[in-house]
Structure 1
Amino acid sequence: MRINWDMLGMSASIACAIHCAVLPLFLTALPLFGWEILHNPWFEGGMIALAGVVGASALRHGYKRHHRRSTPAMLFGAGFACLVLKEVFHTFHVALLIPAIVLIVGAHYLNLRYTSPKAA
């Protein structure tokens, strides 16, 4: 059984988008029960680190074994930078989150296209 790292990366990016969009609406009652996960810097940092590890693994595999094109890595780097910056500049959270998602999913999509035999 082979792991399609790009599909895993796109899935992780979409899960991150759902987390960022739905979780605040769904889990606003958690502080009533003593759970504070929404603005937990450790949780957010862990999600960003997970996205970085999965994304870098997928792009590294595609680059080394298939296409040797740097465009997916550049898109991913820009998207990942937006993810990190949204944690630093909370005022621009949504303005940085949207391009982060688009760039990261786009990087995985492009990497997947470059690794398919039809793209060669």
Structure 2
Amino acid sequence: MPLMSARLHVLLDRIGAAGSLLCAIHCALLPLAIAILPSLGIAVWLGDGFETGFVAFASLFGLAVLAWSYRRHRAVRALGLLLPGLAALWVAVLYPPLHHAAVPHAVVMTFGGTLVGLAHVANLRLNHGHVHDATCAHSH
């Protein structure tokens, strides 16, 4: 694999991991933020559109990066973390009883965001440990 492509893999997974883990922290602190942000006048960051857009972006980004990497390392461990994480995020955003209950919503979003972040970390490890040899899918 060309050096630039390897660096791009690492960069994208680091961005994905950092973004997902920041999302998980955000979701864990959401109940506190719900109480504080209206007094600061910046409650728009908690809006449904922003949250749905962020989950859509995390889904597209995570699936694209992990699918690209899968072609390289052929291991499903990272996808095994990503898919349940994305499912949790989408359930928390789209299932009305859960979406409108602040604490359960925050718990499920934190769980989902953590799994997505761990998927990117797992993918980094899989890419880092990849050895180019005759069994390598892209070496031909």
TM-score normalised per structure 2:
0.69
Instruction: Tell whether the 8 Å contact from 1:8 to 1:54 is kept in structure 2 after alignment.
Output: no
For residues 105 and 36 of structure 1, what CA distance do their matches in structure 2 show? 25
Instruction: Tell whether the 8 Å contact from 1:55 to 1:76 is kept in structure 2 after alignment.
Output: yes
Stretch of structure 1 that moved more, 77-86 or 100-109: 100-109
Aligned to 1:29: 39
Q: Identity of paired residues, percent?
A: 31
Stretch of structure 1 that moved more, 94-103 or 106-115: 94-103
Q: Which amino acid aligns with 1:113?
A: R
Mapped pair 1:80 → 2:86: yes
| Equivalent position SS for 2:44 | coil
- Displaced runs of 4 or more, over 4 A: none
Structure 2 residues not aligned, in runs of 5+? 132-140
Of structures 1 and 2, the one with the larger relative CO (CA 8 A, separation 6+) is 2
After superposition, the CA RMSD in angstroms is: 2.3
TM-score normalised per structure 1:
0.78
Q: Which amino acid aligns with 2:39?
A: A
Stretch of structure 1 that moved more, 40-49 or 14-23: 14-23
1:108, CA displacement in angstroms? Answer: 0.9
CA gap of 1:99–1:18, structure 2 versus 1, over 3 A, is closer
- The number of equivalent residue pairs is 115
